[in-house]
Amino acid sequence: MEEIAGPPPPRQHLTWVGDLQQGDGGKGAMTDRLTPFHQITARVQGGDNAGHTTVFEDAEGQTRVLKNHLLPSGLRHPRVLGVIANGVLVNAETLASEVRELGREMPALRNRLLVSDRAHLVLPLHREVDARQERERGASQAIGTTRRGIGPANVSKVNRIGVRVGDLRDPESLRRRVEQNLRFFQLPPRQADRELAWLARHRDLVLSLAGDSVEFLNAAVDAGYSVVLEGAQGPMLDIEHGVYPYVTTSPTAFYSVSSGSGLDGSLVDNRVGVLKAYQTMVGNGPFVTEDLSTLGDRLRSAGEEFGTTTGRSRRCGWLDLVHARWAVALNRYSSIVVTKLDVLDGFDHVGICVGYTAPGGG
């Protein structure tokens, strides 16, 4: 990985870009806009179940669209370094694909990217188990996951049988971990060779990018360099504080910065909250302001509300300020950015929720 270009800035900024809703508010675009004022852009949690879209004009004035799932947003800017930190769940196939495809748009990408050797890997078996669990829950109980294997990979992680990036250096340990996972998830033992072959295809690339992200980030911060930390999903999907059980299995609130990067969260002086001017959701679970009429359809169409990762139509509704106030109290944002206001331009009336009425009129 390249060294950080140039001396540290006169004033250091540590910035976290988070969400006030379920996600999909525009964190990737905001991270991209802030990245030129930082020397490092980092992802600290989630996995390739996240989908971040950046739209910009190139030097020729042409509109360009970049979509990333694992790479931190903002790497299109030259000389900025990118980090996939220890709290991220890494699908090696997605990583390889993004390095190959986005590398065409991002000069010297491989030389500017560090992947934590402590980050856990999402294996094909995790995706298989994710899909199986959703089927077994049935339509009425399904969480509505992206089926990217994030939940089962986190189960492996907390059960201490997870496969980390650094394990790719030790073939014997790697096989043992894969076999442990197959037994735990009640999958055929013969599947081990297939899992290992999949890992072997991506081993060299992943290890060429691997290193100690905790040491790197702390050294950069101690030297006075600026870092923008990109969140994934939103607080309503947080495993600790969200609408359980309709949550992701990763932390999504501000506390994920410390656990997912190894940085002291108290050093983060800018907490930027992204708030979409209306509400959307992918997956199942409660959605107080959802509009199931033609107005909801209009929001979906005008806002192009289709999942970056899954392509699924997002559920649409009106801005929930009760929800937003709760998110502010949880994450203590220092500033809020309202996005997609222009989507509402064609509506004669828009809805905003300012309070709830409990069953029974309370």
Active site (annotated) includes residue 24? yes
Q: Is the dihedral of CA 228, 238, 126, 132 positive or negative?
A: negative
Q: Annotated catalytic residue: which of 52, 120, 241, 323?
A: 52
Residue 52 known to be catalytic: yes
By CB atoms closer than 10 A (0-12, 13-18, 19+), residue 104 is exposed
Closest by CA to 51, choosing from 43, 61, 39, 59, is 43
DSSP string, 259-291: HHH-S-GGG--EEEEEEESEEEE-SSS--TTB-
Helices (H), 42-123: 92-102
CB 276 within 8 A of CB 25: yes
From 24, 130, 291, 320, the catalytic residue: 24
Bridge pairing between strands 315-320 and 278-281: antiparallel
Torsion on CA atoms 63, 66, 67, 68, rounded to nearest 10: -160
DSSP 249: S
- List b or e across 188-221, with b for residues whose CB sees 16 or more CB atoms inside 10 angstroms: eeebbeebbebbeebbebbeebbbbbbebbbebb
Tell me whether residue 62 is exposed, middle or buried, using C-beta atoms within 10 angstroms of its C-beta: 0 to 12, 13 to 18, 19 or more. exposed
Catalytic residues: 24, 52
